Amino acid sequence: VENLDLWVIIISDQPLIHEAGEPEVRYVANIHGDESVGRECLILFIEYLCLNYGKNDYITKLIDN
């Protein structure tokens, strides 16, 4: 919309590579600029995934598969 950049974060063991059969999930936050709670929750979730990748078997499997 309005030719604005869309900022995204990709969390994957192989970012930018489509792997057939592997589910893809998109979380969207901050649809309305004054609703910051969704954005903050998503940032914390991203941080949790990144900090626990390779340390937590469930999170590692979730991201890898």
**1 band by pLDDT with thresholds 50, 70 and 90:** low
Give all strands (DSSP E) within the chain, no chain letters. Answer: none
Counting the structural domains of the chain, the total is 1
pLDDT of 59: 97
Task: Please state, rounded to an integer, the average pLDDT across all residues of the chain.
Answer: 91
Provide the whole-model pTM: 0.80
The pLDDT tens digits for 11-35 are 999 988 988 988 889 998 888 878 8
Question: Residue 61 contacts by C-beta under 8 Å, 6 or more apart in sequence?
Answer: none
Is 42 or 30 the better-scoring residue by pLDDT?
42
Name the residue range of residue 21's domain.
Answer: 1-65
Please list, residue by residue across 19-35, b when 16 or more beta carbons sit within 10 angstroms of its beta carbon and e when fewer do: eeeeeeeeeeeeeeeee
